[in-house]
A and B are shown apart, each in its own frame.
Chain A
Amino acid sequence: MFRLQGSKVLAVDMAGDAVRAKNGSMVAYDGQMAFKKMSGGGEGIRGMVTRRITGEQMTLMEVRGQGTCYFADRASEINLVSLGGDKLYVESSNLLCADGSLRTGTSFTGLRGGASGHGLFTTTVEGSGQAAIMSDGPATVLRVAPGYPLCVDPGAYVAHQGNLQQNFQSGVTFRTLMGEGGGEAFQIRFEGDGLVYVQPSERNTVGGEV
């Protein structure tokens, strides 16, 4: 059972079950806990190799026990995500914790990853349960439905879930090259049905300066 203690600490109540969390993110616990490092995020040999090849490496640990365990990482804001059989796409560096029953994997993101400086692959979390993602400042959750697509700055994008198509939109014109560009030359456009998490802060991206 995930709950937030303040906005920057995640408390997980456990009764003999397990969660997967970012390695070293435990700040406190009470009760009996066992921490086990999971090579390759618990995805087996194949997952491990995939992660090594795609550069989407994450070191996770499995926490199992009775009691309450507290997680936090560099005072980032934590956002809870509940999954009901759908898929969450998140950068491995932004994933803090996931239920033990959720499956993690990697997927190809296409151009979006390249523009936001994350690499071309992202982490997926799939199944039913809860997960916690981190953002710089509390994330805003925006719904995308067939009637209204959403455009997001690659630097502010954190995660998305549901059945969404993303395509990369570029407004680069000759004015951009002249230094008179609109400042928002690259955007990711989401269409379909799902949720997008954006943070109130922009990472430095390749497209950030044009």
Chain B
Amino acid sequence: MSTPVVHDPTTLPSDDNVNPYTFCVELKGGQWFLQKGKMIAYYGRIDFNGIGHGRLDRLLRTSFHSPLHASDWVVAEGSGKMLLADRAFDVNSFDLDEGNLTIRSGNLLAYQPSLALKQSIVPGFVTLIGTGKFVAASNGPVVFMEPPIRVDPQALVGWADCPSPCHHYDHGYMTGVMGGVRTLTGLGGVSGEEHQFEFVGAGTVLLQSTESLLPEAATGAPPQQPGVPGGHGSGHSSGHGGGHGGGQGQHGSTPRLPGQLGDLQRRFGL
């Protein structure tokens, strides 16, 4: 107890946890995708390059499909051992075998390029598809649950193979004027648990044992396109058509033309 374990490159595990809060990745000339700023130390020669690096184009073509998160991710390349950690949260690795898993974008630390990262249609989440290993952080150990289940939005880390994540609102949330006033103002008899995510079907749901989240990066808003849920940023949840003709719901100064390429701010995640 009193003498701490001293690690050196030979005793550090290969692609495994050093302790519950630190994960060690071994690179042997290969590549890993890594969220920015999660590397705490490394031995050996490792280069970190941003997603926009020209040499990585071929890799990105197969394994990275989220322009909105591009500014958050880097590719680590070289040989050596690298330690990953995030705000002293629990860190775990998971293996996917020809599978898919959707995870809150802030909770994903790193993944092997044999997996493909795609933006989930649920805002703020990303989906990994393929075979390989990834590393995720959670505040408290991860709990695995089987659907059908309803979970608190803040405790949700991710889910695998579930075909139908949807919102569930308690009956009282929607009925009556007073119910509406209560939930909007928070006055009187609100439990704070009127809204859940509901999962049905076969699969696994991953939960963390706390409701405090990793702070969301400002990036990750879905593109503003017709039919994309949550595509309007904050506030305007439109849905009812409203005053805007055509149902496109643009409220910015310049309407986006169909087929217009992503503009520079979006490319940089601003």
Complex Cα spacing A47 to B86, Å: 37
**A interface residues, Cβ below 8 angstroms from B:** 2-4, 77, 79-82, 136-143, 145, 148-153, 155-156, 171, 175, 178-184, 195-196, 198-202, 208
Most buried by B among A79, A142, A201: A142
B13 CB to nearest A CB, Å: 12
A142-B83, A200-B21 known; 16 new pairs, CB 8 Å cut-off, are A4-B1, A80-B3, A137-B22, A156-B40, A180-B50, A182-B49, A184-B36, A195-B6, A196-B41, A199-B85, A199-B88, A200-B22, A200-B85, A200-B88, A201-B88, A202-B87
- Residue pairs across A and B with Cβ atoms less than 8 A apart, 15 shown, are A81-B4, A136-B87, A140-B7, A140-B41, A142-B7, A150-B41, A151-B42, A151-B43, A152-B41, A156-B40, A183-B36, A183-B50, A198-B40, A198-B41, A202-B85
Query: B7-39, CB under 8 A of A: which get 1 and which 0?
Result: 111000000001101100000000000111111
Chain A residues contacting B43 (CB-CB under 8 Å) are: 142, 148-151
**B interface residues, Cβ below 8 angstroms from A:** 1-9, 18-19, 21-22, 34-44, 46-53, 71, 74, 83, 85-88, 91, 268
Chain A residues contacting B21 (CB-CB under 8 Å) are: 137-138, 200-201
Complex Cα spacing A81 to B4, Å: 8
B53-A140 in contact (CB<8A): no
Known A180-B50, A183-B37, A200-B22; judge A148-B4 contact (CB<8 A). Answer: no
Complex Cα spacing A45 to B232, Å: 63
A182 nearest in chain B by CB position:
B48
Cβ contact of B53, chosen from A3, A175, A199, cutoff 8 A: A175
Chain A residues contacting B48 (CB-CB under 8 Å) are: 171, 182-184
A184-B74 in contact (CB<8A): yes
Complex Cα spacing A79 to B6, Å: 12
B7-A202 in contact (CB<8A): no
Complex Cα spacing A153 to B48, Å: 13
A137-B88 in contact (CB<8A): yes
B70 CB to nearest A CB, Å: 8
Known A141-B7, A180-B53, A182-B74; judge A201-B87 contact (CB<8 A). Answer: yes
Complex Cα spacing A202 to B87, Å: 6
Known A137-B21, A141-B5, A143-B8; judge A183-B83 contact (CB<8 A). Answer: no
B35 nearest in chain A by CB position:
A183
Chain A residues contacting B5 (CB-CB under 8 Å) are: 141
Cβ contact of B40, chosen from A145, A153, A180, A183, cutoff 8 A: A153
Complex Cα spacing A3 to B1, Å: 8
A152-B50 in contact (CB<8A): no
Complex Cα spacing A202 to B4, Å: 21
Known A4-B1, A140-B7, A184-B39; judge A156-B85 contact (CB<8 A). Answer: yes
Known A175-B50, A179-B71, A201-B85; judge A184-B2 contact (CB<8 A). Answer: no
Across the A-B interface, the 3 shortest Cβ-Cβ residue pairs: A137-B88, A183-B36, A200-B85
B210 CB to nearest A CB, Å: 15
Chain B residues contacting A79 (CB-CB under 8 Å) are: 4
Chain A residues contacting B83 (CB-CB under 8 Å) are: 140, 142, 198
B37-A208 in contact (CB<8A): yes
A153-B39 in contact (CB<8A): yes
B73 nearest in chain A by CB position:
A183
A151 nearest in chain B by CB position:
B42
Chain B residues contacting A180 (CB-CB under 8 Å) are: 50-53, 71, 268
B36-A142 in contact (CB<8A): no
A125 CB to nearest B CB, Å: 16
Known A138-B21, A179-B268; judge A151-B85 contact (CB<8 A). Answer: no
A140 CB to nearest B CB, Å: 5
Chain B residues contacting A150 (CB-CB under 8 Å) are: 41-43
Known A180-B53, A184-B74; judge A143-B6 contact (CB<8 A). Answer: yes
B39 nearest in chain A by CB position:
A184
Chain B residues contacting A184 (CB-CB under 8 Å) are: 36-37, 39, 48, 74
Known A153-B40, A198-B41, A201-B88; judge A142-B53 contact (CB<8 A). Answer: no
Chain B residues contacting A153 (CB-CB under 8 Å) are: 37, 39-41
